[in-house]
Amino acid sequence: MWGVGIAPKRNIDFEVIVVDDGSPDGTQEIIKQLQQVYGDGRIILAARPKKLGLGTAYAHGLKHASGNFVVIMDADLSHHPKYLPSFIKKQMETGASIVTGTRYVSGGGVHGWNLLRKLTSRGANVLAHTILWPGVSDLTGSFRLYRKSVLENLISSCVSKGYVFQMEMIVRASRQGHHIEEVPITFVDRLYGSSKLGGSEIVEYLKGLVYLLFAT
Amino acid sequence: MHLFLYCDSLSGLRTQVFYTIKMKHIVKILCILVAVAAFWIGLLQSAVVPRSQALLLPVYLIITLGCYGLLMVGIGLMRFPTCPQEAVLLQQDIIEAKDFLKQRGVDIGSD
């Protein structure tokens, strides 16, 4: 709804592609209803039979994308569409190939994290910056605008799973010398239910760092 | 190969590396380590600094790096940006969106 309100004022043509891996909550039914309202040129459903992973979801969604730029964002309302104009504006001003949202600068922020979660996040961030020199302040964020050709390129060269995939994308982009800009975004975590960060996620993260250290 | 490093913000170590030859990140790190090791061995051999203290320099370096890391974590934690008002705004936006869509026949329902 917000996208449809903002875009016509700025002459931006857009489409919304929803990649759904067989969610049991009636997502596909809602999409069909939205298509009645906005037209199926605006709202595209890229359905898959079951949960098949993040990287392939991006690749699958990309096949349906007809524009020159692609914005990737979470669909659980932790990423708010109201930031889309700032992404687009930054790209137009700087000509960047990637604009990534960062939660860790002033103007951005996180809500819904307790002290331990913040500590883990901050520790992980400092460690990643010390080891990898990534060139961006928020490595695991997944609210990003990509030039479509760059995104296709990156997806084909990234092999990690889960959120390490997000890290690999931005680190590889940085290594390849792409022009990357940042905009502050706010992140409201887990509107429904609570986000857990367990031991296995931490191990996965450390393994991801080591992989990125040697492979990029 | 030219290697430049600078910090340009406190909210994270933001570095830019200019290089004329493309190399993997691990190779860059190893080059720096080799350079530091060569410098240290040079110090040991030239006896500019007393030997017993020179031998301990790598330990001091690691401790300094560790303290710097802890400092960055602590500062970052203190300055961690939060946005409690966003949760409120989001709830308002959700209500507004549900009403908007309901008028047009899309039933989101309750979650």
Query: How does pLDDT run across A105-148, given as a tens digit for each residue?
Result: 888 999 988 888 899 989 999 999 999 999 899 988 889 999 99
Q: What whole-number distance in Å separates Cα of residue A23 and Cα of residue A46?
A: 12
Residue B78 in contact with partner chain A when CB distance is under 8 A: no
- pLDDT attached to residue B110: 54
Range of the structural domain that residue A147 is part of: 53-215
Q: Is the confidence at residue A4, as pLDDT, over 70?
A: no
Query: Hey, of B27, B28, B65, B80, which one would you mutate to test binding to chain A, going by the most A CBs within 10 A of its CB?
Result: B80
Query: Is residue A62 in some structural domain?
Result: yes
Residue B93 in contact with partner chain A when CB distance is under 8 A: yes
A18 contact residues in B (CB cutoff 8 A) = none
Q: How many domains does chain A have?
A: 1
Residue A132 near residue A171, CB atoms below 8 Å: yes
Which of A22-36, A194-208, B80-94 ranks highest by mean pLDDT? B80-94
Residue B8 in contact with partner chain A when CB distance is under 8 A: no
Q: Buried b / exposed e across B57-66, counting CB within 10 Å, b at 16+?
A: eeeeeeeeee
Query: Is residue A164 in some structural domain?
Result: yes
Query: Is residue A74 in some structural domain?
Result: yes
Mean pLDDT (chain B) is 79
Helix pair B25-46, A199-215: axis angle to 10 deg: 80
| CATH assignment at residue A110 | 3.90.550.10
Residue A80 in contact with partner chain B when CB distance is under 8 A: yes
Report pLDDT digits (tens) over B57-108. Answer: 889 999 999 999 999 999 999 999 988 898 899 889 888 988 888 888 877 7
Query: Is residue A20 in some structural domain?
Result: no
Q: Taking CA atoms, what residue in B is nearest to A127?
A: B69
- pLDDT attached to residue A96: 94
Residue A155 near residue B52, CB atoms below 8 Å: no
Q: What whole-number distance in Å separates Cα of residue A178 and Cα of residue A213?
A: 19
Query: Is residue A80 in some structural domain?
Result: yes
Query: Is residue A7 in some structural domain?
Result: no
